Amino acid sequence: MGRITLGILLLASLAYSREWNLHIGGMHCIACTLAVKKALLSVHGVQIAKVNFKNESALVITDENISLKMMQDAVAQTGYTATLATKN
Amino acid sequence: MHRREFIKITAMAGSISVLPSFLTASVEMKNTLALYDIQWKFDLTAHDAKECALWIPLPSDISGFQSVLQIGTEGTAKQSFQTTHNNYECATFYAYWDKNTTNKTVDLSMKVALRDRQCDFKRTRVCPDSIEEAKEFLAPTAHIPTDGAVAKIAKKILSNEKDPLKKARKIYDWIIANGYRDESVHGCGVGSPNAMLAQLEKDGRMGGKCLDMSALTVALMRASGIPAREVLGIRVGPSRLSPAFGAKEDITKSQHCKLEFFIPTLGWVPCDPADITKLVLKENLEKTSPRVLELADKFFGFWENNWMAFNHARDFDLYPANTQGSLDSFGYAYAEIDGEYLDPFEPAHYRYSILSKKVTL
């Protein structure tokens, strides 16, 4: 029952969410993905962040009110760059 | 993989006694044999309903120094196997769990025999093939540059020195003189020579851990025409020389990187400048103290038999391929959860332990 409620809540939150594909610059090893992910998740309203070293990319799911600049600022504080690859 | 599987079993006592002499006769064989029983336990059960993949570095035989007598595995993986199919031929154990597997565990047990590795620096015959193969370790990699700041510093250290062994010693001594062990660094460090040299330029000295020191040493040696490579491994028992070089039974956090360089008249020569910087810190010694000088001298050409080597891979591709791309080094087990890198320093999500016991012969 708990899992069903959690699933409904997750679906509801995703219905009001936005997906971003970011290009991440400055990563020099796989461990850098951890720092970038942590930075993205530190932005209140970022729900999911999946970072890939090989593709230098991040797939980010956020609340509707999150802007690109908010994520860029958070990522920049860790020494990396985030730019928009495509936006849905 | 529900039942215990033994990948390799050889007659233990027999194989010790017939260990082939070292590839190059320059390595003196001493009666310092130690046998270790090592147990690895991994538990990724916290990642319920997710795909998990795990690559574990395994020890391989190193003639005259290390002999893997047995590796056994047991666990719940949907797929698992041992492989050396990668560009450095490093022995790897791979395990994969699909999202439906609730209990995601794997245990490895191994018996490894180790001897002290001591170079006696007597000129010896090295086969031409070995000399040719060693040249591969002159090339730069993504994390081992040989140009720019590395080339500049190498030139400064060596001045007009021409003898390769003296060159190697000068670089080794320079690392010890300018480096210090920084305990705040995660794991073995990132192994970036340029980051170390940038720190040196900024602060007048450079802090790091074993991979950082070894990588810079390797880069400087390669830039000076000396083939060199880091060797990732793990401490498996107490040291006869200092507690700084040893480990207790729980070796989960005892990963350690050493290095070796190649001299055409000697073959591969072991050394370990990082452990000298650790000695300075742990025993609170001056770098000019007799004990540091004596051990620095000893560690130029020596590996103790309480450390087990995995591989010398840097900037390489795992097999089977992972989602995240090339690994910069492979001294720790590497895991991906739904294609994302799992932090090996995050014990809540990545539960693993490595225990080692010295076995009486």
> Chain A residue with minimal CA distance to B330?
A30
Residue A36: burial class (beta carbons within 10 Å; 0-12, 13-18, 19+):
buried
Report if residue A53 sits inside a domain.
Answer: yes
Check A34 against B324: CB less than 8 A apart.
no
Strand partners, B356: B38
Q: Please say whether the beta carbons of B344 and B96 come within 8 A.
A: no
The answer to whether residue A10 neighbours chain B at the CB level (below 8 Å) is no
Question: How many CB atoms lie under 10 A from the CB of residue B230?
Answer: 29
CATH for A49? 3.30.70.100
Question: In whole angstroms, what is the distance from residue A29 CA to residue A15 CA?
Answer: 34
Question: In whole angstroms, what is the distance from residue B324 CA to residue B327 CA?
Answer: 8
pLDDT of residue A86: 61
Report if residue A74 sits inside a domain.
Answer: yes
All residues at 6 or more sequence positions from B292 whose CB lies less than 8 Å from its CB, including other chains: B276, B279, B280, B285, B286
Question: In whole angstroms, what is the distance from residue B57 CA to residue B55 CA?
Answer: 7
The answer to whether residue A51 neighbours chain B at the CB level (below 8 Å) is yes
Average the pLDDT over B23-44 and give the result: 74
CA angle B301, B306, B311 (to 5 degrees): 70
- Beta sheet of B5-9, edge-to-edge order: B5-9, B66-75, B105-114, B34-43, B351-359
Report if residue A37 sits inside a domain.
Answer: yes
Check B324 against A33: CB less than 8 A apart.
yes
Q: What is the pLDDT of residues B167-206, one digit of tens each?
A: 999 999 999 999 999 999 989 999 999 999 999 999 999 9
Question: Which residues of B are less than 8 Å from A30 in CB distance?
Answer: 324-325, 327-328, 341
| ipTM of predicted complex | 0.79
For residue B318, give both structure tokens: 């795992």
Report if residue A56 sits inside a domain.
Answer: yes
Of B310, B325, B344, which residue sits at a domain end? B310
Check A51 against B192: CB less than 8 A apart.
no
Question: B315 vs chain A: nearest CA distance in angstroms?
Answer: 9
Would the pLDDT of B120 be above 90?
no
How many secondary structure helices (H) and strands (E) does chain B include? 8, 21
Strand partners, B93: B56, B82
Would the pLDDT of B94 be above 60?
yes
pTM exceeding 0.90: no
Report if residue A4 sits inside a domain.
Answer: no
Q: Looking at the 3D structure of chain A, how many domains does it have? A: 1
The answer to whether residue B343 neighbours chain A at the CB level (below 8 Å) is yes
Residues B324 and B295 in one domain: no
Residue B134's domain spans which residues?
Answer: 121-310
> Chain A residue with minimal CA distance to B342?
A34
Q: What is the pLDDT of residues A21-59, one digit of tens each?
A: 999 999 999 999 999 999 999 999 999 999 999 999 999
Would the pLDDT of B160 be above 70?
yes
> Chain A residue with minimal CA distance to B317?
A54
